[in-house]
Amino acid sequence: MQTSNFVLNFSHTSIDLTKKIAVMGILNLTPNSFYDGGKYQTEKNILKQVEKMIEEGVDIIDIGGESTKPFAREISWEEEAKRTIPYIQKITSLFKIPLSIDTYKAKMAKMAIEAGVELVNDISGLRFDPCMAEVVSLNNVFLVLMHIKGTPRNMQDNPHYDFLIPEIISYLKESVKIATDAGINLEKIIVDPGIGFGKILEQNLFILKNLKELEILQRPILIGVSRKSFIGEFLKLPLKERLLGGLAATCVAVIGGARIVRTHDVKETRQAVDLVNAILQSRI
């Protein structure tokens, strides 16, 4: 696959995805996220976590103000903004680290970009809000297009696919077309197969096994498996004991072509993907 244009140029840094795996650290500013909901609710705790992730080698911090775990209720963009914007402004004033906003709402994305965010992580692949593509295009920021079947409220109600990988590729191709038709630069686009978003255990495993097929899209692949339920379901483990399983799945994803990995556990993930990448790029 041709990867010469897989470079993320942010305000204060550039990430060459042909040379390294980018680690995207998760910062959930929500009371009900599936793993760390309610943990980061004060400015002191939030800034301390940002500093910790930077020290551990994070490349991008992905900030979320609404839980998109299965069956989570939708909140307004105003509530989402209330939870995130003041802290985005504070983080950008103190740290030179690229920020991403995990949202599918155009108004929320616009406010986050104005506050300093340089990447929009849209779980719907531009399907939930018809105004999102225009917001991203006008502001020329990076965009993650994720595949989802249904919505967070119903995505785990017996999701069915006739042809899993082809259907994901088709969905993401259409999302890329929506984006480019709106004027979004193709080189700003990242794709994500959406592990756990309308997929059961066997489907998640199959996606990871066949991730390389997504290279047909010719865009950097992002993968997020951190602490997810399929790990606990397979290994029969609670949330707090899913780190090693998540690292194993992440390493498989990197071998399969993922260039950005999204995680709650920056230190451990950084070490794991750097070693895998060194092995893959080794020459004698």
Q: Is residue 37's pLDDT more than 70?
A: no
Catalytic residue among 228, 242, 259, 270: 228
Alpha-carbon span 65 to 80, nearest angstrom: 5
By C-alpha distance, which of 93, 112, 3, 116 is closest to 43?
93
Does residue 153 carry a catalytic annotation?
no
Tokens of 97: 């680290």
Catalytic residue among 105, 199, 219, 262: 262
Q: Is residue 35's pLDDT more than 60?
A: no
Structure confidence by residue, pLDDT tens digits, 170-184: 999 999 999 999 999
Does residue 228 carry a catalytic annotation?
yes
Structure confidence by residue, pLDDT tens digits, 133-147: 999 999 999 999 999
- Cα distances from 189 to residues 4, 5, 22, 25, 192, in angstroms, run 14, 11, 15, 19, 10
User: What's the confidence (pLDDT) of residue 154?
Assistant: 84
User: What does residue 101 show for φ and ψ, rounded to 5 degrees?
Assistant: -115, 125
Q: How many CB atoms lie within 10 A of CB 42?
A: 9
Q: Is residue 99's pLDDT more than 50?
A: yes
Instruction: Name, in order, each residue with C-beta under 8 angstroms of 158's C-beta and a sequence gap of 6 or more.
Output: none
Q: Is residue 4's pLDDT more than 90?
A: no
For the chain, the 3-state helix, strand and coil shares in percent, each to the nearest 5, are: 45, 15, 40
User: What's the confidence (pLDDT) of residue 156?
Assistant: 84
User: What's the confidence (pLDDT) of residue 153?
Assistant: 78
- What are the structural domains, with CATH classification, of the chain? 7-281 (3.20.20.20)
User: What's the confidence (pLDDT) of residue 74?
Assistant: 86
